[in-house]
Chain A
Amino acid sequence: EPEVTQTPSHQVTQMGQEVILRCVPISNHLYFYWYRQILGQKVEFLVSFYNNEISEKSEIFDDQFSVERPDGSNFTLKIRSTKLEDSAMYFCASNEMAGNYGYTFGSGTRLTVV
């Protein structure tokens, strides 16, 4: 069964450093998402991406965050200057089309900011 692949599975970074989280969505999917889950809390939406641009973003997704699809297969989330409160599990997801289509989630990247 097709998978969404995320790398790395775990990243530890110093506060203030830039991090890039990588995702390879399913090849025929057109909509891509980043969600995050702070330990012990519910999953929160960050951003959705379609046709090479952001289609929706949350209040969390401020100027410190950016997304891009640099080469037609990878989908990346960049955090420019990490804060302690950015420590969370970050999930990439994708789905095929607009409308009621199922989502496929990656296995997540656990980001720890120290």
Chain B
Amino acid sequence: KNEVEQSPQNLTAQEGEFITINCSYSVGISALHWLQQHPGGGIVSLFMLSSGKKKHGRLIATINIQEKHSSLHITASHPRDSAVYICAVRIQGAQKLVFGQGTRLTINP
């Protein structure tokens, strides 16, 4: 069983649509990270959350520790948002990150 599950695996939307990507985890964590991976392969950190909600530009990330669930929202989506979005958790007492399988997002003009 995967410790970190994301849904959906693939998401295609039209420019301007509101996007939600979900992440559920089954282990005790000290933090949850949302990362972006572009076709070239590089990974960029978007958010680190241990509680509540964070916003950066058109991106919003929320976490519910009791429910072991996090969401990443993109408002007014744009084709340049097309990428793989990855949820990763830092397990309590460890330094390593455990990754979800990623959500491939495609925004069409």
Chain A residues with a Cβ under 8 A of chain B: 31, 33, 35, 37, 41-45, 48, 50, 55-56, 58, 89, 91, 98-108, 110
Q: For the complex, is B98 an interface residue (Cβ under 8 Å from A)?
A: yes
Q: Mark B68-100, 1 if CB is under 8 A from A, else 0.
A: 000000000000000000101010001111111
Interface residue count on the B side (C-beta < 8 Å): 24
Of B94, B95, B102, chain A has the most CB atoms within 10 Å of the CB of B95
Minimum CB–CB distance for B34 against chain A, Å: 11
Q: For the complex, is B7 an interface residue (Cβ under 8 Å from A)?
A: no
Residues of A within 8 A of B90 (CB): 100
Q: For the complex, is B27 an interface residue (Cβ under 8 Å from A)?
A: no
30 contacts between A and B (CB under 8 A): A33-B95, A33-B97, A35-B99, A37-B41, A41-B101, A42-B99, A42-B100, A42-B101, A43-B86, A44-B99, A45-B96, A45-B97, A45-B98, A48-B95, A48-B96, A50-B95, A55-B95, A56-B94, A56-B95, A89-B41, A91-B43, A98-B95, A99-B30, A100-B30, A100-B90, A102-B48, A105-B35, A107-B42, A108-B42, A108-B43
Minimum CB–CB distance for A39 against chain B, Å: 10
Residues of B within 8 A of A105 (CB): 35, 42-45
Other A-B pairs beyond A45-B96, A100-B48, 9, CB < 8 Å:
A31-B95, A42-B100, A42-B101, A45-B98, A50-B95, A55-B95, A102-B33, A107-B40, A110-B41
| A91 CA to B43 CA, complexed, in Å | 8
Interface pair B88/A43, CB less than 8 Å apart = yes
Residues of B within 8 A of A89 (CB): 41
Do A103 and B96 form a contact, CB below 8 Å, given A42-B102, A43-B86, A43-B88? no
| A105 CA to B42 CA, complexed, in Å | 8
Residues of B within 8 A of A43 (CB): 43, 86, 88, 97, 99
Minimum CB–CB distance for A45 against chain B, Å: 4
4 cross-chain pairs, A with B, having the tightest CB-CB distances, nearest first:
A107-B42, A105-B43, A43-B99, A45-B96
Residues of A within 8 A of B100 (CB): 42
> For chain B residues 5-64, which have a beta carbon within 8 Å of chain A?
30-31, 33, 35, 40-45, 48, 50
